[in-house]
Amino acid sequence: MANVVLVIDMVKGFLEPGHNLYCGDESREIIPRVHGLLARELAAGSEILFISDHHDPDDLEFQVFPVHCVKGTEEPNVIHELAEFVTGDN
Domain 4-85 CATH class label: alpha beta
Is the pLDDT at 44 greater than 70, yes or no? Answer: yes
For the full predicted model, state whether its pTM sits above 0.95: no
Backbone φ and ψ of 7, nearest 5°: -110, 115
Cα torsion at 15, 18, 19, 25 (round to 10°)? 30
The ranges assigned to domains in the chain are 4-85
Output the pLDDT for position 53: 96
Quick: pLDDT tens for 7-41. Answer: 999 999 999 999 999 999 999 999 999 999 999 99
pLDDT (0 to 100) of residue 90: 63
**Closest Cα to residue 82, out of 3, 9, 4?**
9
Please report, rounded to a whole number, the percentage of residues in the chain having pLDDT higher than 70.
Answer: 98
CB neighbour burial string for 47-72, b if at least 16 within 10 angstroms, e if fewer: ebebebebbeeeeeeeeeeebbbbee
> What mean pLDDT is reported for the chain?
96
Q: Are 86 and 78 in contact (CB under 8 A)?
A: yes
